[in-house]
Structure 1
C-alpha cells in the first residue's frame, strides 16, 4: 500500500449500511469515535422489501420501509452520512487498515464488517481464479488489460459503468448483463462493447483464467471482471476466517484478525432485525474498547521511555 492517496483517517470504518452497520455507526459515534459508514446506493433493500415488521421491540406494526426510514433518520439526527464508495479490499497496516474503494483509499484503526448475506453465489471456479485473471474491480486492475480482451459480468448498474471504463483501455470488451432491464435503464454503453446475453455458469482456465462458461456457449478473454453489490467477506479481507454459517466471530464480534469485527447477517443465522442491530452495537463497543486499550498501551510505553 505504498504511495497510496489516503483521503481520510477514521477510528471505526463500517462496511455495510443495513441495520447492523447503522447500529454500529450510532454506537461508535456516541462513544466519541470518528466513524465512517460505507454503503450502497440504497440502504437497505432487504428491509425495504419487508411488508411488515412485527418483532422489533417497542416498534410494532411498521412496514420495512417505515423502519428503514427511521434508521436513516437516526443517522441524520446524529449528523452521520453514508459514503457511497464501494469497498473492494481491506488491508492490514502497521497501525490500522487501508480500505480500497476503486482508486481511493481510506485509513482506519478498526473495521466493522456488516455486509449482510449476498443472494448471489460465486460461479464455479470464481474464487479459485481470483487474482489470476478474475477481478472484482475494473478501476483497480483495468490498466493490466490495456489492448487486450476482457469480459464483464455485470450483476448491477455499476457493472455497466465499469464496462464503459474498460472500453477506454481494452481492445475488446464483452459485456454479459446479469441484471434486470429496469436496473440498466439510463446507462448508455460505448459502441465498441459487445453485449452477450446468457447466464454465467463458471470460469474457464488452467493456471490462468481464459474465459467464462455460459449456459449455451463459452466466451474467451484475457481477463474477467465480476461486478456485484458486495464482495465475499474472505475476499474483501484476506485471511478472514469464515465457516458455512458466515464470518467466524466471538461474542464481542471480534474476528480472527485483531481490529476487525463483524455483525449482522454476515455472521450467520438467525437473520433477524433485532439480532443484527444488537450485534452492530456489540461490535462497535468492542471496537471502542480495542481502541482505548491501544491508546493505554501507547501511553504506558511512552511512560517507560
Structure 2
C-alpha cells in the first residue's frame, strides 16, 4: 500500500514526486508513455523564471536528472482506471494493480476530442486497454485506433486471440501487418452501435464492421479515469489546495485547467503533494 500514487509523468507529476520524496512518503509514479507531455516538442522556452532560452526536451532532461539524483523512478505504465475503495484507492495499470491511500492526478490535457459514440459505448465495445479487455472479444473482430507505437504491441496481442484486427495509426509508422491484422488509412469519425453494443467504426475512408474498438491514447480522458470525479469546462475541478471533490484525490497541471503553462504545472504539483501529505498525516492521527 503506497501513501500516494501519481498518475502522469510531466512537470506537475515530477514536481509532486519530488515533494513527496522530501516528505518521506512512499509513492509510485505511473508515468504512462514518453508522449504524455507536449513539453518535449517546445523548441524554445522564454517564460520560465530563472531558466531562459532552453528547449522543452532540455528542460525535461533537467527535471529527470533531479529525480534520478533523489532516487525517484518513474514507471512507464499507464493508469487505465482508479477504483475508490473507501479508505484507499486501487489503480488498474494493465496487468498490474496498485493500492494507494491518496491519488495525485497529473495526466496533462487530452488534445484530441472524443469521437462521436466513444463515451456512449464505453464498456459496451469501447475500451482503452486491449490487454485488460481483449479476452472478452476472443474469436471476434476488433479495431485499434492508436496515437502512439504502444498500439502496435496491443494489435499483436489481440491478433493472437481475435479472428480479425484492424489497426488505424494516428502517427507516422512503418508498422508491418501480418496474419489477421489489417492496416487502415484515414481518420476515425465515429463509433456506431445499437442499444447494447458497438457494431462498426466509421473512418474518413470506409466503415468497418467490428465487435469492439480500443483507443490507445497519449492521455486518457479524465472523466474515464475515476468515477464521480467532478469536472469544470472539461478539466478536473480543484480548490486552491488542488483537492478534487473526492477526499484523498488531488489534481494538478494541465488536467486541472488553464493556463497551460510549465510554471503553473510545477507549482501545482508542489501544492498537490503538500496537500496529500497533510491529508495523510491528518488521517493517521485518527
- Contact 2:12 / 2:268 at 8 angstroms: preserved in 1? yes
Unpaired runs of 5+ residues, structure 1, are: 1-8, 298-305
Q: CA deviation at 1:193?
A: 0.7
SS of the residue corresponding to residue 71 of structure 1 reads helix
Change (3 A) 1:132 1:189: same
Q: Structure 1 residues 89, 209: CA separation in 2 closer, same or farther (over 3 Å shift)?
A: same
Q: Which residue of 1 aligns with 2:190?
A: 202
* Structure 2 residue 249 is the aligned partner of structure 1 residue 257: no
Q: Larger radius of gyration, structure 1 or 2?
A: 1
Kindly state the Cα deviation for residue 105 of structure 1 after the two structures are TM-superposed. Answer: 0.4
Distance 1:87 1:128, change over 3 A: same
Tell me, in whole angstroms, the C-alpha distance in 1 between the residues paired with 2:36 and 2:80. Answer: 19
TM-score (norm 2): 0.95
CA RMSD, aligned part only? 1.4
The yes-or-no answer on 1:295 pairing with 2:284 is yes
Q: 2:258 aligns with which of 263, 269, 280?
A: 269
Query: What does 1:106-255 align with in structure 2 at a 5 Å threshold?
Result: 106-181=98-173, 185=174, 187-207=175-195, 208-255=197-244
CA deviation after TM superposition for structure 1 residue 20, in Å: 0.5
Secondary structure of residue in 1 paired with 2:236: coil
Q: TM-score, normalised by structure 1?
A: 0.90
1:81-124, Cα deviation, whole Å (9 max, x unpaired): 11001111111113311111111101111110001111222111
In the other structure, the counterpart of 1:3 is none
Alignment match of 2:76 (pick from 74, 84, 88): 84
SS state at 2:218 partner: coil
User: In 2, distance between residues paired with 1:246 and 1:164?
Assistant: 34
Q: Is the aligned partner of 1:93 residue 2:85?
A: yes
**Counterpart in the other structure of 2:9:** 17
User: Which residue of structure 2 lines up, in the alignment, with residue 300 of structure 1?
Assistant: none
* Residues 245/94 of structure 1: CA separation in 2 closer, same or farther (3 Å cut): closer
CA distance in structure 1 between the aligned counterparts of 2:184 and 2:217, rounded to whole angstroms? 18
Distance 1:77 1:44 in 2: 22
Q: What is the distance in 2 between the residues matched to 1:94 and 1:219?
A: 42
**Which residue of structure 2 aligns with residue 301 of structure 1?**
none
- Alignment partner of 2:231: what SS? coil
User: Following TM superposition, by how much is the alpha carbon of 1:289 offset from its aligned partner in structure 2, in angstroms?
Assistant: 0.5
Q: Equivalents in 2 of 1:143, 1:62: separation in Å? A: 46
Quote the Cα distance in structure 2 between the aligned partners of 1:69 and 1:166.
35
CA shift, 1:215, in A, is: 1.5
Q: Say yes or no: does 1:281 pair with 2:270.
A: yes
CA distance 1:169–1:44, shift in 2 (3 Å): closer
Contact 2:7 / 2:106 at 8 angstroms: preserved in 1? yes
**CA distance change for structure 1 residues 153 and 260 in 2, over 3 Å: closer, same or farther?**
same
**Contact 2:9–2:37 (Cα < 8 Å) also in 1:** no
